[in-house]
Amino acid sequence: MRRSAVRSLSLLAAGAAVVSMAAAAAHSAPPGPGAAGTPSKSPVAVGHGGAVSSVDPDASAAGIEVLRRGGNAVDAAVATAAALGVTEPYSAGVGGGGYFVYYDAKHRTVRTIDGRERAPLSAEKDLFLENGKPIPFADAVTSGLSVGTPGTPATWDAALDAWGTKSLGQVLKPAQRLARDGFTVDATFRQQTADNEARFRDFPASAELFLPGGRLPDVGSTFKNPDLAKTYATLAREGSGAVYEGPMARDIVDTVRKPPVRPGSGRVARPGDLRGKDLGAYRVKHQAPTRTAYRGLDVYGMAPSSSGGTTVAEVLNMLENSDLSELSQTQYLHRFIEASRIGFADRGRWVGDPAHEDVPTKGLLSQRYADSRACLIRDDAVLQSPVAPGDPRNPADCGSGGKAAPTTYEGDSTTHLTASDKWGNVVAYTLTIEQTGGSGITVPGRGFLLNNELTDFSFAPADPAVHDPNLPGPGKRPRSSMSPTIVLDDGRPVVALGSPGGATIITTVLQTLTGHLDRGLPLVDAIAAPRASQRNAATTEIEPGLWNSPVRGQLEAVGHAFKQNPEIGAATGIQRLPDGRWLAAAEKTRRGGGSAMVVHPMGMP
């Protein structure tokens, strides 16, 4: 392993002694998920036997429970995801989709599942146009029109069938119990409910579930979802097929085609054209991961339809020739921002669903192409956005051509989890229902929200003369930025991580990786570091920690322009320490802080 990665790991192994003692006390025996025994929350835990890191302590405890019962990382990941469907219903659940990246310790290979939602088979490129013009974005968000065929249940089945050791029914038990018995409402859950209150009130099933007694749930109260408990019981008996055919499938189709709006609300919720044949035709995609070599390490990610793997790889490849460990904070951020700007220019032009588009994945991943783009970066000036894309099929030094495609909006209420087990297997899994609260529409009697994922498509091309690979199409998957990532050293795991945050996911993963691997930050500190996100726009979004720092003025002197974003992403990660222990890390403060747990907490050997 290269020098800076070794330095980072050794620093963390030494520093972990302090936090792992507290982690041992906090997580020596996490109770089962539920309001009666809500586990304590810690952003870091160290020990043996496997680890889980998520945004929620009940969800992490569900994964740990499965590991303690002999399950592997895949079993634990599905259990954690199902529990997040209870406690983080505005971010993920049965009605959404996601991307699953798995490291197989026995064979030292990385595999992936594309469980992204799909457009109806009847969808065309004018899906979001009326009278030739895009409909208002807010109208698309809260509608049946934006609902794609869910992929999450099929992902769970596919992952367990391919690599798990437990049945779907077994791993759903903690989440089913959590939905039945309830969890303790925190400030984040209440605030997210408040942010959706007006929408939820317009849909009776959403109002009944999320506004019990007609009011916002109080912090400290117990929130139950008996309908979701029944849905999980159905999935346990029948498998994920229950979502794609039969009574539940009909309920989903009916809800999309005729959104159940409260009479007199005044809301016009456009119907979608999702049909039974769309659900019946849905399949996940088992596909090869993206891979790039970075300073002697192998970085694996998610191939298109996600743009995460290709863009993370391209930016890392552009930074390959810079010794980021020796740069000042200002110099490091300048190069990181400029490389991200270029990466997003290429993402917007080239990445879409490869089942419908000719995506030059190999070229986007190549070091030759990255070098041809990196030469645009200058230390004493800032590129003017939007930067035009290059051509990965025919790289030319400092070459750009064509019109830049804008970065489409992606909802930031996604969630990410990481899991590992005693055998050395690792999972990085990012899942979503799109923006906070998805479509706002709960399937009556089923206890879960439907996604509004189709708003990730471009509503119309930025330039009619330039092909946009992310326009809607029949059965097409919208482009995503989800970036579950696993890093290996000589075939063995070093770190796995991911984040929510819409298009900022890519920059969050990149900044966390470079902060940890290059800058020597312990993983939990790399996750906590104040973030910058440049997505080929005139301004770079930065969190308050950078906004209020002298670094901002130094970067502005070079030509950067900024706007403040109070919170970017909410990452989780897992690291394999040199002595064989697992370290799980999560956010310290973002989204109320995350939850890192290990099976057997231990301090210094």
Q: Which residues are catalytic?
A: 414
Contact indicator for 55, 586 with CB cutoff of 8 Å: yes
The CA distances from residue 82 to 91, 172, 468, in Å, are: 12, 7, 35
Question: Residue 403 corresponds to which amino acid?
Answer: K
Record the tokens describing residue 120, joined without a space. 């109806």
Contact indicator for 291, 297 with CB cutoff of 8 Å: no
* Opening angle at CA 523, ends 517 and 524, nearest 5: 155
Gap between the Cα atoms of 326 and 154, Å rounded? 46
Q: Give a three-class secondary structure readout of 417-474.
A: EEEEECCCCEEEEEEECCCCCCCCCECCCCCCECCCHHHHCCCCCCCCCCCCCCCCCC
What is the DSSP annotation of 291-340? Answer: EEEETTEEEEEPPTTBSHHHHHHHHHHHHTTS-GGGS-HHHHHHHHHHHH
Return the sign of the alpha-carbon dihedral for residues 256, 269, 115, 230. negative
Contact indicator for 428, 112 with CB cutoff of 8 Å: no
Gap between the Cα atoms of 64 and 100, Å rounded? 19
Gap between the Cα atoms of 501 and 506, Å rounded? 9
Contacts of 38 (CB under 8 A, 6+ apart): 31, 57, 58, 183, 184
Burial 297-335 (b: 16+ CB within 10 A, else e): bbbbbbbbbbbbbbbbbbbbbbbbebebbebeebbbbbb
Contacts of 179 (CB under 8 A, 6+ apart): 86, 224, 225, 226, 228, 229, 232, 447
What is the DSSP annotation of 499-522? Answer: --STTHHHHHHHHHHHHHHTT---
Contact indicator for 54, 571 with CB cutoff of 8 Å: no
Sheet bearing 532-533, strands edge to edge: 532-533, 540-542, 562-564
Question: Residue 513 corresponds to which amino acid?
Answer: L
DSSP code at position 193: H
Gap between the Cα atoms of 311 and 467, Å rounded? 19
Between β-strands 532-533 and 492-498, what pairing exists: parallel, antiparallel or unpaired?
Answer: unpaired
H or E element, residue 380:
none
Gap between the Cα atoms of 81 and 434, Å rounded? 15
Q: ω into residue 386 within 30 of 0, thus cis?
A: yes
CB atoms under 10 Å from CB of 441, counted, come to 30
Gap between the Cα atoms of 138 and 554, Å rounded? 38
